[in-house]
Structure 1
Amino acid sequence: MRTLDFYFDYRSPYTFLALSQLRQMHVEIVFRPFEIRALMKLVGNVPTSITCASKGRYVQSDQQRWSIHYGVPLNRHPQASELDVSRLLRATLVAGQLGAMPAAVKAIFKAFWSTPAPLATATEVAALLGAEGLDAKALESRMDDPAAHVLLEEATAEAAARGVFGSPTMFVGDEMFFGNDRLDFVRDRLARAA
């Protein structure tokens, strides 16, 4: 089966939208979580939709266009700006160590961008993932552990070293594609990789 590396941070609505389409492409997705704010510092990028008010307003409308185009509801978590997204990413990496990263990614994206669920504490994150069949006790005890912080730092550094500067970033082989609006190019490259 064809493989695609998917670099992401949960904060990005475009990442949630892109993933909704990638799941329909009959491709094995290798999830690569990273911390977007730390990565941007490493590579010298800035979140222009935050620093530029005009772009920020445009992005709100653009996200809704894509949501309608894909038929994918986009309901940002009402506490998104208050959540410890790094914890969500660490929980994802720990879930990966437990052999369940795809299930964690699906559950957390759904809770963050589709059907909001409690995500404010380690207990709530563990309960969400436990409902998906993951070992909630193991996740809760490990997601805030210093070792999980190191895992996220290493994943972020690896993403930066590979040339990632934002989310979503996808690789088919060594060819990089950035953004939800590049999925047609991803499809073409996957077809050539078959």
Structure 2
Amino acid sequence: MSGKTVTFYFSVLSPWVYFGGPRFHEIARDTNATVVYRPIDLLRVFRETGGTPLAAMSPARQAFRARERERWSAWLNMPVNAKPAHHPVDESLAAQLLMAAEDAHGGAVVWPLAQRMLAGVWVHDLDISKEATLAQIAREQGLDADALLALAATPAMRARFNANTTEAMAAGVFGVPSFVVDGDLHFGQDRLDFVERALRAD
């Protein structure tokens, strides 16, 4: 069966990407979908689309989001820290490392590396803005950390990261995870049923 293509816009800072990514990839596998990875600058998206970063939300909204993280953590049996030590941080180098790894090794390496970064933030209290942290994560995935980080730090890779973010907003993205199938935008890890329906539709 020849599957559809889904563009996956995501951030390595988002707990919702951490929760939803594994299930999304199961859906992509089961529907034989091709995933196009687009790591984006989530804080820039918030600034330019009228979103509110977590720290600037009202106490009531912050409390509800914290409770939602607890619920999803229990439901999916995925651990999560209530107050991660390094969130938010600059995610640009981490995102650019994902793109460098994809260029060197293909798309299959992207999600395992990204999920390890996400768990680093939300479970292990790692600072993914630090080169040493990213090198450790890359090595744990069996990758040549030094070579990939050198590529990730280039102006050309930063330009691609910025272009991904601009592309995302042009597609209507205002948060993550977001998925585009047949030009139709789906937002949120709690809407993966709609993503699966779109990927299975004739």
Q: Structure 1 length normalisation: TM-score?
A: 0.86
CA contact (8 A) 1:126 1:136 kept: yes
**How much does 1:22 deviate?**
1.1
Q: Which amino acid letter does the alignment assign opposite residue 15 of structure 1?
A: V
**How much does 1:120 deviate?**
4.9
Which of 3, 9, 24 does residue 7 from structure 1 map onto? 9
Change (3 A) 1:8 1:120: closer
**How much does 1:110 deviate?**
2.8
Q: Which amino acid letter does the alignment assign opposite residue 137 of structure 2?
A: L
**How much does 1:49 deviate?**
7.0
For each residue in 1:12-35, what CA deviation from the matched residue of structure 2 results, as whole angstroms up to 9, or x when unmatched?
Answer: 111111112112222443221000
1:16 matched residue in structure 2: 18
Tell me which moved more, 101-110 or 115-124.
115-124
CA contact (8 A) 2:49 2:174 kept: yes
Q: Structure 2 length normalisation: TM-score?
A: 0.83
CA contact (8 A) 2:8 2:36 kept: yes
Secondary structure of the 2:201 match is: helix
Give the 5 Å matches for 1:1-194: 1-25=3-27, 26=29, 27-47=33-53, 50-75=56-81, 78-81=84-87, 83-98=89-104, 99=106, 100-117=109-126, 119-193=128-202
RMSD (Å), alpha carbons: 2.3
Secondary structure of the 1:46 match is: coil
Structure 2: runs of 5+ lacking an equivalent = none
Change (3 A) 1:163 1:118: closer
Q: Which amino acid letter does the alignment assign opposite residue 44 of structure 1?
A: G
Cα distance in 2, alignment partners of residues 190 and 12 from structure 1: 24
**Percent of aligned pairs with the same amino acid:** 26
CA contact (8 A) 1:76 1:114 kept: no
Q: Which amino acid letter does the alignment assign opposite residue 35 of structure 2?
A: I
CA contact (8 A) 2:9 2:40 kept: yes
Secondary structure of the 1:119 match is: coil
Secondary structure of the 1:58 match is: helix
CA contact (8 A) 1:76 1:112 kept: no
Cα distance in 2, alignment partners of residues 179 and 34 from structure 1: 15
For each residue in 1:143-168, what CA deviation from the matched residue of structure 2 results, as whole angstroms up to 9, or x when unmatched?
Answer: 23322221211111111111111111
Structure 1: runs of 5+ lacking an equivalent = none
Cα distance in 2, alignment partners of residues 18 and 92 from structure 1: 18
For each residue in 1:85-126, what CA deviation from the matched residue of structure 2 results, as whole angstroms up to 9, or x when unmatched?
Answer: 222112112222223423422322232234455635213202
